[in-house]
């Protein structure tokens, strides 16, 4: 597809669909929502100019169905698709199908997706391009001697990992040479038992790992720039919860070094559009390429605030064939931004998901507050999808101001009817280690316990008083109403009903 | 100046509350200690403003059940469940033993979801903390466990079934029950 | 008062009281609201930590009563007062009474207020300090000869103004020498008749006047800086409606020149805290001192966005004795910001005020939106005060982006139950002259007509369909309910009521 | 497949509307032209989502009076007043002349406020556009004018009085009435 984009189908739901549609509306490009049967009332359907139902609730029967989305594109005459994140956003078959149909895809080409989609080929390609990756063996280890030799090269401590493993299983830290033989034997045995595959490889063990990523933007003309870093180490079960930009540990020199490496990654895969290069950073601030996310990230707003750009509108411009409107040296960050993901899950009960109707919604306002939301008052949160409700993004001059402002914002924020992780954020914002920026990806697991959650000490009395008054006054009213019941003037509707009742009784 | 008496349960504690109009204000006594409060109704049965000892509070009555007296009250950036009973009703319920049944654990769905799998069947012996049912909600699987040791009396759901919050999933009874 | 501020009473209401309390909460300083009997449910009372009633609805009996506010300060133990804007904010007697009572005033000293409070003394002092004012006679004109001589000095066209006049009355433009004699006679006669005082003076006539003001900040240590300009020419009856920063006609050189003059004004009156120096700018971009507002302005947020500062927190710091945290050369503006004042007035009926209950409130969100509000859903807007409900402040990279974003935001904004000027803003944002930045203070008067207001062409059918469905479905339900009425299980409350009814009947 | 007939007034125009269920949708005919629409009720009598010809609209029923059929509907960043009548009611009202009275103008308060001053008194002759009452609301004084020439029959308010929206302020009748 080439030339001006005139109508865009957003192949997603929730807050990111709204985020994209807001950019489209600013550009006066009509937006098309697609929705599953469970999403008829979803915020993105209400916001869009047009809306098409694409199937039953499970995403495998709707949001993940390439054929149905192509049908909706044809039906509405959209000439481009924005995939958001998740769902089909990194599916190269989808990008290819659109290209074949002559429809624009607001994102990178399928080739870049494929290259970055497989961790092993991505790693190999990046090594070839001169990008620093976590040092390790590229294949399975044979005996303890080979393991020792490689580990000496890498430097202790190292991590033994089952090749077929994942999710933290089949991993063992080896701190010095003496531990190697027994550790290798144990890991191989464990791997054989758990995954029916005893292959084990060795990798540098990253102590106090931080997850820091670089936003890149590239156009069809071959320009590529970086827009600083995002610190994403506050995670729970590999799910990011709070992100910020800049990172408390990245200075200008490190930003330039990481940024230039990220641009190298983007160029190595002929990247177009917005993308993110993820790095693992160790306690010495050494960083290693982890993977590239070939899409817009959930946490893109913190970059938008510090660089005063609109990444979605830039994606749309690039997809329309325009060149990037700035050079690297024009991109200077200002201030500090933090994003708090609002999940429908209860931190008091091990983050159990919570769904239901949002009975009351009161959003924070005033200076430095951005709310990217996918909900509204009276919305019934369905059970079928990701629990991300919205993102509260806070901006200020310094990190201290952002923390103070976020605390203030959470005193204003009311989401009632379902449980959310807001109490978790309130806890986090009072942790001295978090305030100092001293944390790694293990922070939540090591520091958080549900019993640490606190409510204002005045709450019990205030709630008791309010409930007692409500109950008392309701009772009074009901008694009064009962006394009045027979003396009321019948309304037109009641008369009609009475007439109908009489008629039926007669027939 | 008749005082109205209620028994209020909050955070597992029962409080004796008496409420009396005091001019344009209310006097509210909790376990014998009296506070004066001023209430303004912004939206009936929905939103109040309370001023208590000069402190200002905005309060939302998020959920309410007038028959059972159960409320969810939101204020001060948080929320809490409260139950209010007339004093006489509360006494009557205490005398009849309420609906408490000992030696029995009924697992209920803590959220709406899809039953992925039952991990036990009727007649199985289970220990405290043992998983009974896996429930999937919002792409996450949650193992729901027994709160007591006992025998599975009944599983109320089948695999793949959608359930609402509060739906009974399984019942465990004491071994010698 | 000196030293740390520990509790602040906000002697104001509406959106500005909330704005100040948000800053206080970020600093973890408890806030005290004062309220009139008509404001018991006002947003600032709900937001504050403490609240004190200070009298009946009319502001002369509450918000303007220095004695009652001092009582509230004593009662709550507040050690400082923030006056907001309007009410007592520029009342030197109030500032003096607080000083005498040893209470901090978050604003300038009474001396600066007094010097700037009287237009004539301010003008004289500024001339003495070397500040450029609108050229004119400093006293009443005698005969046409004197008028001619002075007008030649000033340069035609000039404006004849009744000394006792105001609000646009007793003014006459004189374009060349031949018109002078008759114009002077007419103006003097008119002045004598209207104000019982025939004194008339002459002043340079500013063609296509723009109202542009400079934000200044000064501390007790003698530092004073400027934070760029705000363009405030979109006015109706001398009431600002839309403001922006930067101004479309101010470049870096002009900003520096105006800024340095504003700092000169601030230093000439020994200013402390945030203040605003207003200028009149003519079609040649020459600017003249008009007056200084010795308080926080309504439109301060556009400066906060372009300079990434929090003016209220800076006021609090300065009032606590701290020095300004930046030097002039560190203050560089970025991006563009525009503020849209949301008034409770109906642009379709000559901006007639509108009050009543806000039945639905849905606020815009997403990138670049700040909402400084004094309202909430279910709030009943009282009739006694200023009709300003809230301010929608929009930020972006360029002026074009801000206009596009504001249009988008107004498609999301729902305030139902009362009329607002939102339709006016929607009209304004589509005016080519406004888009080009080509306007002056006469813009609304010359360009706006109520019949230009437009609604979406799909609205009539959508509204018709929705209302018909609602009416139809309600009717069906009522009929059904009527049929069911006698078969319902009685609730506990109804039983109680019935019992009480029976009891009463027996007694 | 019964069609329900209504007469709907909007922006001063009367439309004949017929509404029929069409599976999960509705067929709605306005002055003979039929559209298919899909309605989802988000909050009963409050918030709807309508999809009409693929276009999506969020609609708020802001004010409603079920007896008179008056609605204020908010959608598309704006709002409009609509009146819905059953067809039979509308015909009956037309036959009895409804409540229209010609040769009479009743000035009502367009907003709540305080009556600053009546500019005329009973028996005065007034012209169209002449000010009758000054009403102050939100610090602004508003002169409310007569919509017709005639004689002041009655002033219903006194200076300094507070009035609510819709309160009658003055009645003008035709000179020869």
What mean pLDDT comes out for the span C498-506?
46
Write down the catalytic residue from C13, C295, C399, C419.
C295
Give the DSSP H/E element, type plus range, for residue A201.
strand A200-204
Spell out a b/e string for C329-347, using b for 16 or more CB atoms within 10 Å of the CB, else e. Answer: eebebbbbbbbbbbbbbbb
CB contact under 8 A, B49 and C45: yes
- C70 and C145 in a single domain? The answer is no
* Residue A168 neighbours by CB under 8 Å, 6+ apart: none
Note whether B49 contacts C: Cβ–Cβ < 8 A: yes
Q: How far is CA A171 from the centre of its chain?
A: 27
CB contact under 8 A, C359 and D62: yes
* Residue D108 neighbours by CB under 8 Å, 6+ apart: D166, D167, D168, D169
Rounded to 10 deg, the angle between the A119-129 and A110-117 helix axes is 100
Chain D: touching chains (3 or more CB pairs < 8 Å): A, C
Q: How far is CA A361 from CA A41, A375, B62, C47, in A?
A: 16, 9, 11, 16
pLDDT tens, A253-262? Answer: 999 999 999 9
Residue C382 forms part of a structural domain: yes
- A94 and A13 in a single domain? The answer is yes
CB contact under 8 A, C493 and A485: no
Our count of domains for chain A comes to 4
CB A14 within 8 A of CB A342: no
Phi, psi of B2 (to 5 degrees): -70, 135
pLDDT band of A506, cuts 50, 70, 90: very low
Residue C443 forms part of a structural domain: yes
pLDDT tens, C107-142? Answer: 999 999 999 987 777 888 899 989 999 998 877 887
Residue C259 forms part of a structural domain: no
Note whether B47 contacts C: Cβ–Cβ < 8 A: yes
**Strand (E) positions, chain D?**
4-10, 13-22, 25-30, 33-43, 47-52, 55-65, 70-75, 78-86, 104-108, 113-118, 125-126, 131-137, 140-145, 150-155, 162-163, 168-173
Q: How far is CA B83 from CA A187, A399, A459, B21, B93, in A?
A: 54, 42, 15, 21, 13
Chain C: touching chains (3 or more CB pairs < 8 Å): A, B, D
From A435, A454, A473, the end of a domain falls on: A454
- C100 and C38 in a single domain? The answer is yes
For A:77-106, CB contacts with C below 8 A are: none
- A481 and A498 in a single domain? The answer is yes
What mean pLDDT comes out for the span C357-386?
96
Residue B92: DSSP 8-state: H
- A442 and A485 in a single domain? The answer is no
CB contact under 8 A, C367 and A401: no
- For C41, which of B40, B46, B67 is closest by C-beta distance? B40
As a whole number, the mean pLDDT across chain C is: 92
Q: What is the pLDDT of residue A503?
A: 44
CB A277 within 8 A of CB A213: yes
Residue A326 forms part of a structural domain: no
Q: What is the pLDDT of residue B176?
A: 56
* Residue A495 neighbours by CB under 8 Å, 6+ apart: none
pLDDT tens, B113-150? Answer: 889 889 999 888 888 878 899 888 777 777 888 878 88
- Nearest CA-CA distance, residue C493 and chain B, Å: 7
What mean pLDDT comes out for the span A209-224?
97
Q: How far is CA A355 from the centre of its chain?
A: 19
Q: What's the start-to-end Cα distance of chain D, in Å?
A: 51
Which pair of structure tokens corresponds to residue D82? 């609509």
> Cα–Cα–Cα angle for C245, C248, C254, nearest 5°?
85
What mean pLDDT comes out for the span C261-273?
96
- The answer on pLDDT for A386 being more than 50 is yes
Give the DSSP H/E element, type plus range, for residue A393.
strand A388-396
Note whether A507 contacts D: Cβ–Cβ < 8 A: no
Q: Does the interface ipTM go beyond 0.90?
A: no
More confident residue, A493 or A488: A493
| Secondary structure of D134-171 as H, E, C letters | EEEECCEEEEEECCCCEEEEEECCCCCCEECCCCEEEE
Q: What is the pLDDT of residue C480?
A: 62
What mean pLDDT comes out for the span C192-202?
85
Note whether B67 contacts C: Cβ–Cβ < 8 A: yes
What mean pLDDT comes out for the span A212-224?
97
d(CA C76, CA A50): 55
Among positive and negative, which fits the CA dihedral C266, C267, C271, C274? positive
What mean pLDDT comes out for the span A26-35?
98
Note whether D176 contacts A: Cβ–Cβ < 8 A: no
pLDDT tens, B144-160? Answer: 888 788 889 889 999 88
Q: What is the pLDDT of residue C146?
A: 87
More confident residue, C120 or C378: C378
Out of A5-9, A129-133, B162-166, C478-482, give the one with best mean pLDDT: A5-9
What is the set of domains in chain B, with CATH numbers?
A: 4-86 (3.30.700.30), 97-173 (2.40.50.100)
- The answer on pLDDT for D81 being more than 70 is yes
Q: What is the pLDDT of residue C506?
A: 42
d(CA A438, CA A248): 8
- For A369, which of C304, C370, C412 is closest by C-beta distance? C370
Q: Where are the alpha helices (DSSP H) in A86-236?
A: 92-101, 110-117, 119-129, 144-154, 180-195
* Cβ neighbourhood burial of A253 (10 Å; 0-12, 13-18, 19+): exposed
Percent of chain A with pLDDT strictly greater than 90: 77
Write down the catalytic residue from A295, A341, A399, A419.
A295
Q: What is the CA radius of gyration of chain B?
A: 21
Query: Considering the entire predicted model, what is its pTM?
Result: 0.87
Note whether D58 contacts A: Cβ–Cβ < 8 A: yes
- For A467, which of B30, B57, B82 is closest by C-beta distance? B82
Residues from chain D that touch A50, judged by Cβ atoms under 8 A, are 54-56
- Nearest CA-CA distance, residue A491 and chain D, Å: 8
CB B18 within 8 A of CB B24: no
Chain B: touching chains (3 or more CB pairs < 8 Å): A, C
- Nearest CA-CA distance, residue A50 and chain D, Å: 4
Note whether C33 contacts B: Cβ–Cβ < 8 A: yes
Q: Write down the residue that tokens 């003698």 correspond to.
A: C222
Q: What is the pLDDT of residue C505?
A: 43
Q: How far is CA A113 from CA A89, A109, A223, in A?
A: 9, 7, 19
Note whether A496 contacts C: Cβ–Cβ < 8 A: yes
Note whether D137 contacts C: Cβ–Cβ < 8 A: yes
pLDDT tens, D13-44? Answer: 999 999 999 888 999 999 889 999 999 999 99
More confident residue, A297 or C144: A297
- Establish whether the linkage from the previous residue to A246 is cis, with ω within 30° of 0: yes
- C353 and C442 in a single domain? The answer is yes
pLDDT tens, D100-158? Answer: 445 778 888 877 888 988 999 988 888 887 889 888 877 777 778 887 888 898 899 99
* Cβ neighbourhood burial of A374 (10 Å; 0-12, 13-18, 19+): buried
Maximum alpha-carbon separation in chain D:
62
Which pair of structure tokens corresponds to residue C343? 């008034």
d(CA B105, CA B82): 23
Q: What is the pLDDT of residue B32?
A: 87
CA nearest B173: which of B139, B150, B144? B150
CB contact under 8 A, A387 and B10: no
d(CA C13, CA C88): 12
- For B50, which of A349, A456, A465 is closest by C-beta distance? A465
Residue C267 forms part of a structural domain: no
Percent of chain A with pLDDT strictly greater than 70: 93
Q: What is the pLDDT of residue B114?
A: 87
Which pair of structure tokens corresponds to residue A326? 């700035």
Q: How many CB atoms lie within 10 A of CB B39?
A: 19
- The answer on pLDDT for C266 being more than 90 is yes
What mean pLDDT comes out for the span C168-181?
86
Give the DSSP H/E element, type plus range, for residue C334.
none
Q: How far is CA A109 from CA A105, A402, B79, in A?
A: 8, 37, 48
Is residue A341 flagged as an active site residue? no
pLDDT tens, A421-437? Answer: 999 999 999 999 999 99
Note whether C76 contacts B: Cβ–Cβ < 8 A: yes
CB contact under 8 A, D75 and C462: yes
Where residue A426 sits, what CATH number does that domain have?
3.30.470.20
CB D16 within 8 A of CB D27: no
Where residue C58 sits, what CATH number does that domain have?
3.40.50.20
pLDDT tens, C428-462? Answer: 999 999 999 999 999 999 999 999 999 999 999 99
CA nearest A28: which of D177, C429, C190? C429
Where residue A164 sits, what CATH number does that domain have?
3.30.1490.20
pLDDT band of A139, cuts 50, 70, 90: confident
Q: What is the pLDDT of residue A464?
A: 97
d(CA C126, CA B58): 48
Which residue in C has a C-alpha nearest to residue A313's C-alpha? Answer: C401
Give the 3-state secondary structure percentages of chain D, helix then strand then coil, rounded to 5: 5, 60, 35
Residue A364: DSSP 8-state: -
Q: What is the pLDDT of residue A490?
A: 44
From C437, C454, C471, the end of a domain falls on: C454
CB D59 within 8 A of CB D73: yes
d(CA A253, CA B177): 71
Which pair of structure tokens corresponds to residue A82? 């924005």
Residue C41 forms part of a structural domain: yes
Residue C129 forms part of a structural domain: no
pLDDT tens, C486-497? Answer: 334 444 555 455
- For D73, which of C354, C410, C467 is closest by C-beta distance? C467
pLDDT tens, C292-318? Answer: 999 999 999 999 999 999 999 999 999
Which pair of structure tokens corresponds to residue A167? 């999710």
- The answer on pLDDT for C265 being more than 90 is yes
Residue C491 forms part of a structural domain: yes
Which residue in A has a C-alpha nearest to residue D56's C-alpha? Answer: A50
- C41 and C85 in a single domain? The answer is yes
Which residues of chain B have a pLDDT value below 50?
A: 1, 98-101, 177
The range of the structural domain enclosing residue C492 comes to: 459-506
Give the DSSP H/E element, type plus range, for residue C437.
none
Give the DSSP H/E element, type plus range, for residue C321.
none
d(CA D123, CA D125): 7
Q: What is the number of CB-based contacts under 8 A between chain B and chain C? A: 36
> Three-state SS for C89?
coil
- A434 and A473 in a single domain? The answer is no
As a whole number, the mean pLDDT across chain D is: 86
* Residue A179 neighbours by CB under 8 Å, 6+ apart: none
CB contact under 8 A, B63 and A383: no
What mean pLDDT comes out for the span A23-47?
98
As a whole number, the mean pLDDT across chain A is: 92
Residues from chain C that touch B66, judged by Cβ atoms under 8 A, are 491-493
> Cα–Cα–Cα angle for D138, D140, D144, nearest 5°?
110
Rounded to 10 deg, the angle between the C252-268 and C119-128 helix axes is 110
- For B55, which of C40, C49, C379 is closest by C-beta distance? C49
């Amino acid at each position: 597809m080439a030339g001006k984009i005139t109508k865009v189908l957003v192949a997603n739901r929730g807050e990111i669909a709204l985020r994209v549609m807001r950019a489209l509306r600013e550009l006066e490009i009509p937006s098309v929502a697609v929705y599953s049967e469970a999403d008829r009332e979803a915020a993105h359907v209400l916001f869009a100019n047009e809306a098409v139902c694409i199937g039953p609730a499970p995403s495998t029967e709707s949001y993940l169905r390439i054929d149905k989305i192509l049908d909706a594109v044809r039906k509405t005459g959209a000439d481009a698709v924005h995939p958001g994140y998740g769902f089909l956003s990194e599916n190269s078959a989808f990008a290819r199908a659109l290209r074949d149909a002559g429809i624009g895809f607001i994102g990178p080409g399928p080739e870049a997706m494929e290259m970055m989609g497989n961790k092993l080929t991505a790693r190999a390609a990046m090594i070839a391009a001169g990008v620093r990756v976590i040092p390790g063996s590229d294949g399975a280890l044979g005996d303890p001697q080979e393991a020792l030799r490689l580990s000496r090269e890498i430097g202790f401590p190292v991590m033994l990992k089952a090749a077929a493993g994942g999710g933290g299983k089949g991993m063992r830290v080896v701190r010095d040479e003496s531990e190697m033989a027994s550790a290798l034997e144990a890991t191989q045995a464990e791997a054989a038992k758990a995954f029916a595959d005893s292959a084990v490889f060795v990798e540098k063990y990253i102590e106090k790992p931080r997850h820091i990523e670089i936003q890149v933007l590239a156009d069809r003309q071959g320009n590529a720039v970086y827009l600083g870093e995002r610190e994403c180490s506050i995670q729970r079960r590999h799910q990011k919860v709070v992100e910020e930009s800049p990172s408390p540990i990245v200075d200008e020199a490190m930003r330039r070094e990481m940024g230039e490496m990220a641009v190298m990654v983007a160029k190595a895969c002929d990247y177009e559009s917005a993308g993110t290069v993820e790095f693992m950073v160790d306690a010495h601030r050494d960083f290693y390429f982890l993977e590239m996310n070939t899409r817009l990230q959930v946490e893109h707003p913190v970059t938008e605030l510090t660089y005063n750009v609109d990444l979605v509108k830039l994606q749309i411009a690039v997809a329309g064939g325009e060149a990037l409107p700035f050079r690297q040296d024009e991109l200077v960050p200002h201030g500090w931004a933090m994003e708090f993901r609002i999940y429908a899950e209860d931190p008091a009960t091990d983050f159990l998901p919570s769904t239901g109707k949002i009975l009351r919604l009161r959003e924070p306002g005033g200076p430095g507050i951005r709310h990217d939301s996918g909900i509204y008052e009276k919305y019934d949160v369905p059970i079928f999808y990701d629990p991300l409700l919205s993102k509260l993004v806070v901006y200020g001059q310094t990190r201290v101001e952002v923390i103070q402002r976020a605390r203030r914002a959470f005193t204003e924020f009311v989401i009632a009817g379902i449980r959310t992780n807001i109490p978790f954020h309130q806890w986090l914002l009072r942790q001295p280690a978090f305030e100092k920026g001293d944390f790694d990806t293990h922070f939540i697991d090591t520091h958080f316990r549900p019993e640490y959650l606190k409510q204002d000490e005045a709450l019990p009395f205030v709630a008791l008083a309010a409930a007692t008054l409500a109950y008392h006054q309701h009772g009074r009213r009901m008694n009064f109403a009962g006394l009045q019941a027979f003396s009321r003037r019948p309304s037109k509707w009641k008369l009609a009903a009475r007439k109908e009742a009489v008629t039926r009784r007669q027939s | 100046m008749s005082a109205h008496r209620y028994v209020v349960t909050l955070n597992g504690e029962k409080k004796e509350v008496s409420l009396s109009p005091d001019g344009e204000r209310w006097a509210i006594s909790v376990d014998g200690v009296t506070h004066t409060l001023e209430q303004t109704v912004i939206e009936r049965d929905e939103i109040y403003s309370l001023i208590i000892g000069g402190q200002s509070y905005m309060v939302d009555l998020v959920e309410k059940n007038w028959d059972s007296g159960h409320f969810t009250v939101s204020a001060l950036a948080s929320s809490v469940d409260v139950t209010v009973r007339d004093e006489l009703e509360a006494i009557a319920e205490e005398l009849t033993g309420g609906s408490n049944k000992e030696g029995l654990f009924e697992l209920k769905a803590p959220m709406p979801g899809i039953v992925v799998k039952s991990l036990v069947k009727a007649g199985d012996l289970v220990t405290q903390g043992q998983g009974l049912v896996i429930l999937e909600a919002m792409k996450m699987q949650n193992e729901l466990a027994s709160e007591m040791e006992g025998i599975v009396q009944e599983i109320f759901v089948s695999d793949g079934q959608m359930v609402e919050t509060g739906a009974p999933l399984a019942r465990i009874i004491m071994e010698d029950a």
